Amino acid sequence: MKFEFSILISYIILQLFSPHHLVHGQKSGDVRIISGTKLLEVFTDSWGYVCDDFWSQADSNTVCRQLGHRRAQNYSTSIIADSDDFKIDDVFCPNNQFYINECEYETTEDCAKDEHVEVICELEGCESLLQSVASISQTAYFYQDYQWQYICTDSMTQQAADVICRSHTNTTAMSFTSISSSDADYDFPIYGYKFNCSGSESSLCECVNIEETCSSMEVVQITCYASENGAIRLTNEDNGLLQVLYNGKWGYICDDGWTDSTANEICKILGYEGVITSYTSYYINDTTYLLNLIRCFSGVTSFLDCVYSIYIPGYCSSNEHVYINCRPNNQCESILKSAELGLSELEYNNGTKIFKVCADEFTTAEGEVVCRENTGTNLTSISSSIYNGTSEIYPATFQCKGYEDSLCECSKMLQPCLSGAIVYVECSPQENGNIRINNDSGLLEVYIDGWGYVCDDYWDQTAANTVCRQLGQRRARISSTGHYYDNSDYKIDDVMCRTNQFRINDCTYKTAEDCSSFEHVAVVCETEGCESLLQSVASISQTAYFYQDYQWQYICTDGMTQQAADVICRSHTNTTAMRFTSISSSDVDYDFQYMDTNSTVVVQKVHSVSV
């Protein structure tokens, strides 16, 4: 009696929490579990039973998920009932489906009264779910608090994705991407808590959840690796260090013999359009190399089709890693279309469609990012106008910090465009010496009476650092030369920058005359971190700079002490400060902001330090 009462209570709870409990009317494919008998029914043109031929645990799990529950706690077949009004038979749900209509089944013809199915669902617990096999991008789901939910893109990390794949395919995640919640298959809520996983957990439920709002309103899709030799991955989705699975172990590839054409084939194997650029001589403190001397010829479909050598321990050092930046199939970008009075109408391509951009909450931070992405210059002004056209306005506002390289990197908040106005942006005109990193090729370009490339003769890390500082970033993370590109419109060559300059025009260079298509320069900048900077050598009075909060700044006189000056000198010349003085803010070289000890902007004087 106690057991039967428990079953009755469980059934009542199931019905109360079921999303179908609130739906008026029935539709084909609806399911229900009959109170008392626990027999499974399905609605086609009317309610009827499910025949038990080929019925399995996977089929039972699908039924329980359709009812809004975690999975089947128990199921039974060959149950006898008075009715033989069966609707479907031979049900087959192989891939964690959420609805019985997504499964294969037949219209029943030959089922007897002793072929009924009964199912008991489980409400409690926590579970992540993928619906398909490895090597296919698939939406991730999460069951907690008595409901299935999507996982917000903002909640996902590489470690959490690895945990999900490990629990389903015993592999790690090749990549994770996102789709709009409006493009998702089911009407589920979005789980908006960030997963703090180490990557070693056996289940996503073991990770600590940190509260976080889901500003993007996009849901995660994950691609898991197949458990076989030759699986490859990049450490940061469509870019990063190249890793390979070999003899059951993940490791790196040494860069000996590496070419851009091999990188292009690697990107295609990973499902991308091709390579933007690749880098060798990348340093990390890890020499877990597995393979070397890789060569992939055009048209290969698997890494195992490439030519490679087994790595000999000790042969490659820590600075011989391969870093690849692949071009996504659906390229996201902002677009400036010429308009009147120097203004340009802003559009946004999310990879599948081009939208107008709403003026609501569009600030100078977003404008700076748009100008950096499109022209490589600074923002001049922003304006707006009521839109009466037929194109769609993007249903979200952008929330940029101001240091991003593309509008696509900014957070988004889904909301309607209440004003009905769209954005116009004016960027400052091009000047000789402006630079940019080409979105298509990933190569460095300079503006000298028109855009062109930089030849790699004498190019070094110091020059790369100067380029990144000119772009408003901290320094160069990667500098690479010898890249091939089928455009040899070079502007400058023999670039030589002294220590810690901020503009390529501060360096010496020559007009390019004799450079081939194999002498392009590629640079990847670093935005994170904190750094002080002096531009010259000891015993010369020189301005001090400070990088923090994603920008270079002057240091206010009021914020300096002898001890702080000593620290700056020690970090650059391993000496102490002879003295520090000040100059007027109107006499400084660059248009930087000023900071005091509280990191607030003050327009007063800046420090010069002698060492």
Return contacts of 348-356, CB within 8 angstroms, 24+ apart: 348/394, 348/407, 350/394, 350/408, 353/392, 354/391, 355/391, 355/392, 355/393, 355/394, 356/387, 356/389, 356/391, 356/392, 356/393, 356/394, 356/422
Asked which of 14-18, 82-86, 331-335, 571-575 is least confident by mean pLDDT, the reply is 14-18
Residue 356: its pLDDT value, please?
Answer: 94
Which DSSP helix (H) or strand (E) runs through 374? helix 364-374
Alpha carbon distance 380, 427 (integer Å): 5
Beta strands in 69-187 (DSSP E): 71-79, 86-92, 104-107, 116-122, 127-130, 138-144, 147-151, 173-180
Residue 314, C-beta contacts closer than 8 angstroms, at least 6 positions apart: none
| Sign of the dihedral defined by the CA atoms of residues 71, 73, 78, 79, in that order | negative
pLDDT in tens, 44-62: 999 999 999 889 888 999 9
64/599: higher pLDDT: 64
- pLDDT at residue 610 tops 60: no
- pLDDT at residue 41 tops 80: yes
- pLDDT at residue 299 tops 70: yes
pLDDT average, residue stretch 226-252? 79
Instruction: List the beta bridge partners of residue 287.
Output: none
pLDDT in tens, 399-420: 888 888 888 888 777 777 888 9
pLDDT in tens, 122-143: 888 899 998 765 557 789 999 9
Alpha carbon distance 402, 125 (integer Å): 42
Alpha carbon distance 517, 439 (integer Å): 18
Residue 226: its pLDDT value, please?
Answer: 65
| Mean pLDDT, rounded, of the chain | 83
**DSSP class of 392:** P
Q: Do residues 382 and 362 lie in contact, with contact meaning Cβ atoms separated by under 8 Å?
A: yes
Q: To 10 degrees, the CA torsion angle through 203, 205, 209, 212?
A: 90
Alpha carbon distance 250, 456 (integer Å): 34
pLDDT in tens, 341-389: 578 999 998 877 899 999 988 999 999 999 988 888 889 999 999 999 9
- pLDDT at residue 19 tops 50: no
Q: Do residues 375 and 425 lie in contact, with contact meaning Cβ atoms separated by under 8 Å?
A: no
pLDDT average, residue stretch 255-263? 91
Residue 512, C-beta contacts closer than 8 angstroms, at least 6 positions apart: 452, 455, 490, 491, 492, 493
Alpha carbon distance 449, 461 (integer Å): 26
pLDDT average, residue stretch 268-283? 85
Residue 320: its pLDDT value, please?
Answer: 92
Give residue 570's pLDDT band: very low, low, confident or very high (50, 70, 90). confident
pLDDT average, residue stretch 193-212? 84
Residue 591, C-beta contacts closer than 8 angstroms, at least 6 positions apart: none
| Sign of the dihedral defined by the CA atoms of residues 307, 517, 322, 133, in that order | negative
Topology (CATH) of 333-427:
Mac-2 Binding Protein (3.10.250)
Q: Do residues 260 and 315 lie in contact, with contact meaning Cβ atoms separated by under 8 Å?
A: no
Residue 611: its pLDDT value, please?
Answer: 45
CATH class of the 127-224 domain in this structure: alpha beta
CATH architecture entry for 2-122:
Roll (3.10)
The listed CATH number (3.10.250.10, 3.40.50.970, 3.30.420.40, 3.40.50.720) that belongs to domain 531-610: 3.10.250.10
Angle at 336 between CA 362 and CA 389, to 5 degrees: 75
Give residue 18's pLDDT band: very low, low, confident or very high (50, 70, 90). very low
Give residue 32's pLDDT band: very low, low, confident or very high (50, 70, 90). very high
CATH superfamily, with its number, for domain 435-526: SRCR-like domain (3.10.250.10)
319/332: higher pLDDT: 319
- pLDDT at residue 195 tops 60: yes
Beta strands in 261-352 (DSSP E): 274-282, 289-295, 307-310, 321-327, 333-338, 344-349
Instruction: Return the domain boundaries, the chain.
Output: 2-122, 127-224, 232-327, 333-427, 435-526, 531-610
Domain 531-610 in the same topology as domain 2-122: yes
447/225: higher pLDDT: 447
- pLDDT at residue 17 tops 60: no
Residue 16, C-beta contacts closer than 8 angstroms, at least 6 positions apart: none
Residue 192: its pLDDT value, please?
Answer: 84
CATH architecture entry for 232-327:
Roll (3.10)
Beta strands in 266-420 (DSSP E): 274-282, 289-295, 307-310, 321-327, 333-338, 344-349, 354-356, 379-386, 396-399, 411-414
